[in-house]
């Protein structure tokens, strides 16, 4: 029997939950070992002060189980005024149950309600649960000429961290026509 509601409860993260988000991140990253990317699995999760900054600005959401314990989370920031998905992670014990998609849909709904027209992200092109997954969630790969200055900077920063050892892409999800469902209306963050 699932330990969470379907669709899962999505809400803003609370300050005391940030260490748990780090645990989710470590566990979610483990699957990169299976595909020969142990460096990614070994990467430290976002530092508590960075998580706290997202949380304070209302830009950290969790998917919570029936005990209200987070099993997945999403971080967003604003790059040149556009919402950007910094991280989405789901604990492997709860993966492939639509939790990641619900977090992305929640953000899409709240940002569409705020009049935003797209979500962007950067990700690994060939990792099955990265670019191919986001494509299934309504994202499309952006051509290099379509990147604004903020996205270019992000790509450069990620390359400086060594992430470009594997092919990377920028993706966008257009928000026109995205509806805010009752489950996504409680925490519309603005940039
Ligand atoms: C990406 C991630 C958040 C998806 O969360 P999720 O709740 O498991 O995803 P959903 O249930 O919404 O969607 C499931 C789909 O994701 C993809 N997927 C998830 N886990 C996968 C895996 N181990 N292998 C291949 N595809 C996978 C598949 O497309 C899957 O669809 P399917 O079950 O019909 O094959 C989760 O896999 C994760 O935390 N990954 C590690 C962290 C990461 O890479 N985050 C993204 C970069 S910031």
Distance 1 CA to ligand 1 centre (A): 20
- pLDDT score recorded for residue 190: 33
Choose which residue among 32, 123, 129 to substitute to test ligand 1 binding: the one with the highest number of ligand atoms within 8 A of its C-beta: 129
Distance 76 CA to ligand 1 centre (A): 18
- pLDDT score recorded for residue 180: 60
The overall average pLDDT reported for the chain is 91
pLDDT above 90: percentage of residues in the chain: 85
Distance 91 CA to ligand 1 centre (A): 10
Question: So where are the chain's domains?
Answer: 9-181
Which three-class secondary structure state does DSSP give residue 149? helix
Calculate helix-pair angle for 18-29, 48-56, nearest 10 degrees. 120
| pTM score | 0.92
- pLDDT score recorded for residue 185: 35
The stretch 126-140 carries a mean pLDDT of 98
The stretch 108-124 carries a mean pLDDT of 96
The stretch 149-155 carries a mean pLDDT of 95
Virtual CA dihedral for 80, 83, 84, 87, nearest 10 degrees?
Answer: 140
The stretch 145-166 carries a mean pLDDT of 95
125 lines ligand 1 (CB under 6 A): no
76 lines ligand 1 (CB under 6 A): no
Which atom belonging to ligand 1 lies closest to the Cα atom of 34?
Answer: 23
Distance 135 CA to ligand 1 centre (A): 12
Which atom belonging to ligand 1 lies closest to the Cα atom of 24?
Answer: 39
pLDDT above 70: percentage of residues in the chain: 90
Report the alpha-carbon distance of residue 189 to residue 186 in Å, rounded: 9
Class of the domain covering 9-181? alpha beta
Distance 114 CA to ligand 1 centre (A): 27
Is pLDDT of 14 > 90?
yes
The stretch 35-62 carries a mean pLDDT of 97
Over residues 136-150, the pLDDT tens digits come to 999 999 999 999 999
More confident position, 99 or 188: 99
- pLDDT score recorded for residue 187: 35
- pLDDT score recorded for residue 181: 55
- pLDDT score recorded for residue 176: 81
- pLDDT score recorded for residue 27: 98
Q: 170 φ, ψ to 5°?
A: -100, 140
- pLDDT score recorded for residue 52: 98
Distance 185 CA to ligand 1 centre (A): 24
């Amino acid at each position: 029997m699932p330990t969470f509601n379907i669709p899962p409860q999505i809400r803003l993260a609370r300050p005391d939950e940030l260490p748990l988000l780090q645990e989710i991140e470590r566990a979610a990253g483990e699957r990169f070992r299976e595909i020969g990317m142990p460096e990614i699995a070994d990467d430290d999760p976002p530092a508590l002060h960075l998580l706290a900054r997202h949380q304070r600005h209302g830009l950290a959401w969790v998917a919570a189980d029936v005990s209200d314990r987070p099993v997945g989370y999403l971080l967003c920031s604003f790059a040149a005024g556009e919402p950007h998905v910094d991280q989405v992670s789901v604990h492997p014990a709860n993966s492939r149950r639509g939790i990641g998609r619900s977090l992305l849909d929640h953000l899409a709904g709240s940002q569409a309600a705020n009049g935003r027209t797209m979500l962007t992200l950067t990700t690994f092109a060939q990792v099955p649960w990265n670019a191919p997954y986001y494509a299934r969630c309504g994202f499309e790969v952006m051509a290099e000429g379509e990147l604004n200055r903020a996205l270019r900077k992000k790509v450069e920063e990620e390359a400086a961290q060594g992430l470009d050892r594997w092919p990377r892409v920028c993706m966008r999800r257009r928000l026109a026509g995205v509806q805010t469902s009752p489950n996504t209306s409680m925490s519309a963050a603005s940039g």
